[in-house]
Amino acid sequence: MTRGPAAGKTVVLGVTGGIAAYKAVEVCRRLVDAGVHVVPVLTEDATRFVGEVTFSALASEPVQKSMWSEADPIPHTRLGQRADLVLVVPATARFLGCYANGISDGLLSATVLATRAPVMVCPAMHTEMWEHPAVQENLATLRRRQVLVVDPAQGRLAGGDVGAGRLADPDDIVAAALAVLGSVARGQDLAGRRVVVSAGGTREPIDPVRFISNRSSGKQGHAVAEAAATRGAEVVLVTTATRPAPAGIDVVKVETAAEMEAAMLEHSAAADIVVMAAAVADFRLKAPADTKLSKADGVPELVLEPTPDILAELGRRRRDGQVLVGFAAETHDMTSRAASKLRGKNLDFMVANDVSAQHVGFDHDTNAVTILGSDGTCREIPLTSKLEVAHAILDSVIVRLGGQRPGGGIRRAGASGGDDNSRRDS
């Protein structure tokens, strides 16, 4: 696994007594692989399901279980202070109940009360317990207090039953934890920057009820907007998707390529960073019908015309110092096709993904991309969450912005802002 910004951060990995405790072993191993310092804290009940030795061998430190250690009279306080994240996998109904009610009945429940670090809980239990109002109300209380919850999935449970309450996939838990650690490490490195992002697939009308569109869900573009906002940027999201956008983002809802073009050109003029993640339809009807087409009128002849290439226009208009990023969803010859679009559209970065691969691209929560730079750089981001991909793209953008001040200009004495020589690809 590549070492990202989470490397060197400390996770207190709490394990409580549920059958899913064995999956915490995989979470521990994956976090250590990512360069995270993992401190395992097990409850007594957890040791009925997994051996302490397993965690002590895989984690960065031996297991801790007790409040009563001769070496350290206040282990919960010390753990809480050292943690960049406290991650509880699995979190039982009992643990959630104690935490929501401020009850410290052991080292782990005392640690989550004693920390100022973010806390992420990954509940796992039988469906009846998961759906019990007491558990749901405890979770609602914890969410209100900014505790992060990785919701359980549907699936096979202990004893062969099937339903809600199965621990989330360890891959998703690790991705969520790395995303939190990444934002702790990155801080507010986009403060003062204006970022414009497009997302979703455009809809080109055929008649008032039908349209031509594509499979884009808007998830990757929304993730870029969310990542930029978390890092302190002022964000405008031009989107066709109806999914909710995180608070603090200025959302412009559009439908067609023409509407997206108008919004992007308007908002990008003053932007420091423009990310064109939308899947814009390449063709639209020359003359959409004003009234619904009817079968009785026979098979319609749909005459198409090209839509404007918004990104190419942004490439022609961009002002000095602005960083421009495109996306290329490809099914074949990915790198060469993406590289030629990078040059042709006058971009700084092209984010290429192979949408024919598993768990990648349209409608998935995960993605794997190659970030091609106009300076010849090529960064592979292996399969991870779309939010992590978004952060990786912004990491590259930050490097490209280098010493430029927010709003344009170069942080060099006497520079006018018009001498950005990093773009030599047009």
Listed ranges 215-223, 325-333, 382-390, 393-401: which one lies at the site for ligand CTP (CB under 6 A): 325-333
Least distance from C-beta 239 to ligand CTP, angstroms? 12
Examine residue 310 and tell whether it contacts ligand CTP (CB under 6 A).
yes
Least distance from C-beta 134 to ligand CTP, angstroms? 47
- Let me know: does 308 contact 236? Beta carbons within 8 Å: no
Least distance from C-beta 284 to ligand CTP, angstroms? 10
Rg of the chain on CA atoms, in Å:
25
- Let me know: does 321 contact 408? Beta carbons within 8 Å: yes
Distance, in Å, from the CA atom of 366 to the CA atom of 142, rounded to the nearest integer, reads 26
Examine residue 349 and tell whether it contacts ligand CTP (CB under 6 A).
no
Distance, in Å, from the CA atom of 131 to the CA atom of 116, rounded to the nearest integer, reads 29
Least distance from C-beta 337 to ligand CTP, angstroms? 6
Least distance from C-beta 266 to ligand CTP, angstroms? 15
User: Total residues at the site for ligand CTP (CB under 6 A)?
Assistant: 14
Phi, psi of 202 (to 5 degrees): -75, 155
Residue placing its CB nearer to ligand CTP in the complex, 14 or 326:
326
Distance, in Å, from the CA atom of 339 to the CA atom of 115, rounded to the nearest integer, reads 47
Examine residue 64 and tell whether it contacts ligand CTP (CB under 6 A).
no
Examine residue 327 and tell whether it contacts ligand CTP (CB under 6 A).
yes
Examine residue 328 and tell whether it contacts ligand CTP (CB under 6 A).
yes
In terms of DSSP bridges, do strands 85-91 and 10-15 run parallel, antiparallel, or are they unpaired?
Answer: parallel
Distance, in Å, from the CA atom of 326 to the CA atom of 311, rounded to the nearest integer, reads 7
Choose which of 23, 126, 341, 364 interacts with ligand CTP (CB under 6 A).
Answer: 341
Identified catalytic residue from 138, 214, 346, 421: 214
Residue placing its CB nearer to ligand CTP in the complex, 250 or 282:
282
Least distance from C-beta 408 to ligand CTP, angstroms? 23
Residue placing its CB nearer to ligand CTP in the complex, 87 or 352:
352
Binding mask 248-287 for ligand CTP (x = CB under 6 A): ---------x------------------x-x-x-x-----
Examine residue 309 and tell whether it contacts ligand CTP (CB under 6 A).
yes
Binding mask 213-252 for ligand CTP (x = CB under 6 A): ----------------------------------------
Examine residue 307 and tell whether it contacts ligand CTP (CB under 6 A).
yes
Listed ranges 85-93, 159-167, 244-252, 320-328: which one lies at the site for ligand CTP (CB under 6 A): 320-328
Structure tokens at 121: 């809980």
Say whether 353 is catalytic: no
In terms of DSSP bridges, do strands 349-354 and 366-373 run parallel, antiparallel, or are they unpaired?
Answer: antiparallel
Which spans of this chain sit near ligand CTP (rule: CB under 6 A)? 257, 276, 278, 280, 282, 307, 309-311, 326-329, 341
Active site residues: 214
